[in-house]
Amino acid sequence: MTYGIIATWAMALEGVSDAAKNLANNGTIADNIEAAIKNIEDFPFYKSVGYGGLPNEEMIVELDAGFMNGDNLDIGAVAGIQDFANPVSIARALSTERLNNVLVAEGAAKYAQKKGFERKNMLTDRAMIHYKNRFKENSQTIQPDIVPYRGHDTVGVVGLDRAGSIVSATSTSGLFMKRAGRVGDSPIAGGGFYADSEVGAASATGLGEDLMKGCISYEIVRLMRDGLSPQEACEQAVNALETQLIKRKGTVGDLSVVAIDKNGDYGCATTIANFSFVVATDKIEPTVFIANRVA
């Protein structure tokens, strides 16, 4: 059987490479996606994920993560969780519960504490400097404009193992300078992530407020179920959402997506220049590809 793993942004290369080796040896996609994301969460220099992720407007790092098991459609997610090292692992644990699969803020922290997940102060000195500089740049104390700074880099990973299981998962610190309590698409099933082992999986990165409007990860999986290839599904979903938002609102944020189907074929679409993503399958060595908006 074939296997494959696709992730948003070049930073995922190391995790994806390790995962590909394990998947070749019959490792499970759930274990390997969790490990690939933890690798990124633990690295202090990625500004949108885990340790070192940039804080909200109150200089607090609030983290979001989601996990979906496409075999049984189980979903787990945490939003606005503080002071835990690996939100993706907490999201995965929640996906195995019968109830209470999506927890926010203190409730999520209580669950994580009870389950023994590692506590950690996630605000690094470097992230604090970014925060302080942003206020200097704006020479004001009111909330500076919130934009997903160029090079936004939420991690979203989709994949398929040799047993045919498909998973999609995400982890992010969300938008720099977001309002306290703000939740993006990343922990929203169907928005930032979706997986169905009968079809495939998708994940998104970019402006959560807009990605959510199209339930874009669900939409990509739905299009694949209708027979589109992952590439066609990604392009169609991104183009349709962009078109609708421009038509109705006159503006749209960055939209980038990756997908895989049950045959191990992959797709990617973006509205930005130089969106990097990582692919490894039984036919493709771990490689960073660069996508650009389709005209």
Residues that bind ligand SD4 (CB under 6 A): 48, 148, 152-154, 172, 174-175, 184-186, 205-208
Q: Is 206 annotated as a binding residue?
A: yes
Q: Is 208 annotated as a binding residue?
A: yes
Least distance to ligand SD4, CB of residue 22, Å: 26
Least distance to ligand SD4, CB of residue 207, Å: 6
Question: Active-site positions?
Answer: 154
Q: Is 182 annotated as a binding residue?
A: yes
Between residues 148 and 230, which has the closer beta carbon with respect to ligand SD4? 148
Between residues 148 and 286, which has the closer beta carbon with respect to ligand SD4? 148
- Which amino acid type is present at position 25? N
Q: Is 264 annotated as a binding residue?
A: no
Q: How many helices (H) and strands (E) does the chain have?
A: 8, 12
Is 115 exposed, middle or buried (CB count within 10 Å of its CB: 0-12, 13-18, 19+)? exposed
Residue 58, helix vs strand vs coil? coil
Question: Which residues are CB-contacts of 131 (< 8 A; sequence separation ≥ 6)?
Answer: 54, 55, 59, 177
Least distance to ligand SD4, CB of residue 114, Å: 26
Spatial separation of the C-alpha atoms in residues 89 and 31, rounded to whole Å: 10
Least distance to ligand SD4, CB of residue 209, Å: 7
Spatial separation of the C-alpha atoms in residues 46 and 37, rounded to whole Å: 12
Sheet holding 266-270, edge to edge: 193-196, 200-206, 255-261, 266-270
Nearest to residue 203, comparing CAs of 278, 287, 286, 281? 278
Q: Is 170 annotated as a binding residue?
A: no
Between residues 188 and 224, which has the closer beta carbon with respect to ligand SD4? 188
Q: Is 192 annotated as a binding residue?
A: no
What do you get for the CA distance between the two ends of the chain, in Å? 36
Least distance to ligand SD4, CB of residue 279, Å: 19
Q: Is 155 annotated as a binding residue?
A: no
Between residues 148 and 159, which has the closer beta carbon with respect to ligand SD4? 148
Between residues 165 and 217, which has the closer beta carbon with respect to ligand SD4? 217
Strands, E assignment, 45-121: 63-69, 74-81, 102-104
Looking only at Cα atoms, what is the longest distance across the chain?
58
The C-alpha R_g of the chain, in whole angstroms, comes to 18
Q: Which residues contribute to the annotated binding site?
A: 182-185, 205-208
Q: Which residues contribute to the annotated binding site for substrate?
A: 182-185, 205-208
